[in-house]
Amino acid sequence: MRVNVAVDRNLEGAAIALSGIDEAAPSTLAFGDRRTTVARVAAHPRRGRTAAGAGTRGPLLRVSPAVAAELGLARRMPLRVKRDDTSWRLGPCVALYVQAMSDTPRFGEQTPMFKDLSRLARKMGVDLVVIEPGFLRRRRGWRYDVQRNRWQLASLPTPDLVLRRSGSFSRQVKRVAEAELDWFARHGRLHTLSAQDTNKYAFYNLLHSVSELKDYPPYTTVARHVRDVFEAVRKRRDVYVKPFGGARGASVLRLVASSRGVTAYWQTGAAPKGKRSGAPSKPGGASVRLRERQVPSVHSESLSTYAAFQQFWARTKLKECLVQDTVQLARTAQGEPFDLRWLVQVVEDTPTVVARVARVAKRQAVTTNIHTGGRAVDAPHTLRAVFGADKAKKLIAALDDIALRVAAELQKRYGPFAEVGIDLGVDQQGRIVLFEVNPTPGRRMLRELSAGLRELSLTYLLEYAMRATGFAGKVD
């Protein structure tokens, strides 16, 4: 059942009133980890319409300011209800766990997604909140007021379900964030794969433990010292170097050996106006504040001796890393390389491929990542243009099967999760390769591809949260 909850300042103490439904009001209300006994009063004579909830349709639960403060309820919010005799549990309260960019509620490029999720959540009877590292101590977070178009700081209960949205955390809050996410996981509230379990090295090891998947990643070795990297590139000739937990193409290098030594290539990416660049013009150099959107560009440096390579490597500040054979990716008719992102979400308890995106890079780009200048296009269309309709159909079916196998294996190893982004590729001969997984897939690619598909993916995310917390499934 859904109910409109509204704070009524005419009610005092622990008073509540229920209208718009032919049943008795509860004597106990619960929300998140909070519970309180309430005193029922006569329903308002105008069923479903009061000063506190004018214009609402359906059952209306009016609560006193004291009850709202005790439970952490907003001034006006539609919620789902689980009933047990005279006790009502309201919810679900779903939290996005993220490190804000400052003391004000600024969430970077995820802000549009958070706002759109809040709008959908309100329609579906979900309380969507944003919490930051330190929540378990402060018990405060942000709600987006759709009507007033602003974020509001509020006292909150412990959420029923938590979705981590930051891929990484700054050094200042990393320890707190890891401890809190561990607590949410141990209490069955975290439904995002952990960064540790899905970093590039952990994923590579997982693939090699599954016979059906072990042949899909490119040849990969671990380097723990500059000498390891140098020997690997001398032996393999053309490799990519990636940090275990990197994202958005940051700190990714291409190293190519020749008779003249080793040439290193890296890329600076496009950064939003007024933000800091995620990659310096030289490895290890300071990022700079940009007045305009940075134009993605490729840089290179020739390293003719091992000593020169050592000096270069010191500037990268990389420690342990993966050294991976370069895959000669398939290219468009314009000569642009592309890889693939498959978005897998749990829809009605079944992992489902919801979106298929091709990330097309510039001809000489080092990475295809959208944050380093790539563009998102429809993957099936791209594959048909490159390989023809018949072969593309077989490739898409095979890519779907691999992505779903990966999702099933992740579920088996690490437990339930709402979604995962799976990065794949097809080489110039049409062979499929598996690169990595992203446990916090963004929606920027889908925003560029299809507004309808993006909204569907957000709806699936909220439906998952309702099912996982026992508050029904689709919208009534």
Question: What one-character DSSP code corresponds to residue 276?
Answer: B
- Among the listed residues 73, 90, 72, the one whose alpha carbon sits nearest the alpha carbon of residue 81: 90
Cβ atoms of 223 and 232 closer than 8 Å = yes
pLDDT number for residue 348: 93
One-letter-per-residue 3-state SS of 12-52: CCCEEEEECCCCCCCCEEEECCEEEECEECCCCCCCCCCCC
pLDDT (0 to 100) of residue 246: 62
Exposed/middle/buried for residue 473 (C-beta within 10 Å: 0-12, 13-18, 19+): exposed
Q: CA torsion, points 57, 61, 64, 66, in degrees to nearest 10?
A: -120
Alpha helices, H only, 168-321:
174-186, 195-198, 200-208, 226-236, 306-316
CATH code of 329-441, in short, is 3.30.470.20
- Which two tokens mark 405? 């196998």
Paired with 297 in beta bridges are 268
Q: What is the DSSP-derived secondary structure letter of residue 430?
A: S
Rounded to an integer, what distance in angstroms lies between the CA atom of residue 235 and that of residue 71? 63
Alpha helices by DSSP H, 4-149: 65-71, 111-124, 135-138
Query: Model's pTM, two decimal places?
Result: 0.90
The whole-angstrom separation of Cα 160 and Cα 431 is: 43
222 three-class SS? strand
DSSP characters over 312-351: HHHHHT--SEEEEEPP-B-B-TTS-BEEEEEEEEEETTEE
The pLDDT value given to residue 293: 45
Sheet holding 34-37, edge to edge: 34-37, 28-31, 87-91, 76-84, 2-7, 60-63, 15-19, 39-40
Question: Which letter does DSSP use for residue 281 in this model?
Answer: S
Return the pLDDT at 43: 63
Instruction: Give 313: exposed, middle or buried? Use CB within 10 Å, 0-12, 13-18, 19+.
Output: buried
Query: What does pLDDT average to in each consecutive run of 10 residues of the chain (476 residues)?
Result: 95 95 91 96 54 61 97 96 92 96 78 96 97 96 94 96 94 95 98 93 92 94 95 96 73 92 84 42 47 65 96 91 95 96 96 97 84 87 98 98 98 96 96 96 91 96 97 59
